[in-house]
Structure 1
């Protein structure tokens, strides 16, 4: 088997992280300025950005493909109203990995799709705190498989 690049080869041999339909996040150490990942889920891929491991504030949550895979939002400190919302119909797929990136720098959070430079969501967080952990989960009846490409 030949690969066009090393990233493609690493993607194919990386073991996915499985997330059940659950309120519990799986916690991972965060990279210094972002995360690149692929997820396979029917809906509701949730990513939490926190200072400490575990569900605690301050926290930013990114919901991709929520509301029956119809929209995506950024939520602050587990409370509504959401700080950013955009329609994203069919952004996730239960049978196919879809790639995304989340970046954070100077309290500015951006979320985009693989191979697209422009974000489809962004938020300027007025509260400064380090992002040391990333939590991943799937909700609302969906389980998921995740491949973390870059911490």
Structure 2
């Protein structure tokens, strides 16, 4: 399997992937674009089997799909995942492919996001509180201890409309912001670790409707 330049010249990376496809069954894959790097992995695997930096980064707006060299293909694509959370502060975990996630949420207050090393609450773990403290502040907390940073974010979330957010966590640098804007909160962990799952929940009187962008 190869990743090639748009001009179809040299491959950026080429790895051995024996029998990675099969015409008798669907095989699931994911592609992540993070921090000017392309990552490709198998469904259910956190680690990519192929990755490379983009030497001349550009804005990617569309994806294309094809088969060739004697092959025809049948494809299925996964869209946004919808999630409803109760007022219970219990995280719903999903795999993290790459070094960032984006989502939309509608709630009165306290949209909580956990960054963990497994599909459950772990140590270490980061918690991101968006619209906490009666929807007036947001914070990043480490291991359910002290807040590493707390900022004013009046009316950050709203139950009447979905607000779109993005979270990145490359090399322990946590950034939280509205989609396509500069982050309103960030903190760097001096001892970073591998994040494999992201959890979502609401609490403190709030329920939430989420769309997780896959």
Give the TM-score normalised by structure 2: 0.62
Would you say how many aligned residue pairs link Structure 1 and Structure 2? 139
- Corresponding residue for residue 10 of structure 1: none
Name structure 2 gaps, 5 residues minimum: 1-60, 63-78
Question: Is the aligned partner of 1:41 residue 2:78?
Answer: no
> Based on CA coordinates, which of the two structures has the bigger radius of gyration?
2
Rounded Cα–Cα distance in structure 1 between residues aligned with 2:170 and 2:180: 20
Determine which of 150, 157, 162 is the counterpart of 1:85.
150
Rounded Cα–Cα distance in structure 1 between residues aligned with 2:162 and 2:135: 14
- Corresponding residue for residue 57 of structure 1: 123
Name structure 1 gaps, 5 residues minimum: 7-12
Rounded Cα–Cα distance in structure 1 between residues aligned with 2:91 and 2:143: 15
Rounded Cα–Cα distance in structure 1 between residues aligned with 2:83 and 2:105: 9
Rounded Cα–Cα distance in structure 2 between residues aligned with 1:93 and 1:128: 32
Rounded Cα–Cα distance in structure 2 between residues aligned with 1:31 and 1:139: 26
Question: Is the aligned partner of 1:121 residue 2:185?
Answer: yes
Q: Larger % of strand: which?
A: 1
Rounded Cα–Cα distance in structure 1 between residues aligned with 2:91 and 2:158: 20
Question: Is the aligned partner of 1:17 residue 2:105?
Answer: no
Paired residues of 2:81 and 2:212 also in contact (CA < 8 A): no
Rounded Cα–Cα distance in structure 1 between residues aligned with 2:171 and 2:91: 25
- Corresponding residue for residue 177 of structure 2: 112
Question: Offset of 1:128 from its aligned partner?
Answer: 2.1
Question: Is the aligned partner of 1:28 residue 2:94?
Answer: yes
Give the TM-score normalised by structure 1: 0.87
- Corresponding residue for residue 103 of structure 1: 168
- Corresponding residue for residue 53 of structure 2: none
Q: Larger % of helix: which?
A: 1
Higher relative contact order (CA 8 A, sep 6+): 1
Rounded Cα–Cα distance in structure 2 between residues aligned with 1:104 and 1:88: 20
Cα distance per residue 1:109-151 (max 9 Å; x no partner): 11110131x111111112221100000000100000110114x
Q: Which runs of 4+ in 1 moved over 6 A?
A: none
Rounded Cα–Cα distance in structure 1 between residues aligned with 2:123 and 2:81: 30
- Corresponding residue for residue 140 of structure 2: 74
RMSD value, Cα:
1.7
Question: Offset of 1:16 from its aligned partner?
Answer: 2.1
Question: Offset of 1:15 from its aligned partner?
Answer: 5.2
Cα distance per residue 1:22-42 (max 9 Å; x no partner): 121001001211100000000
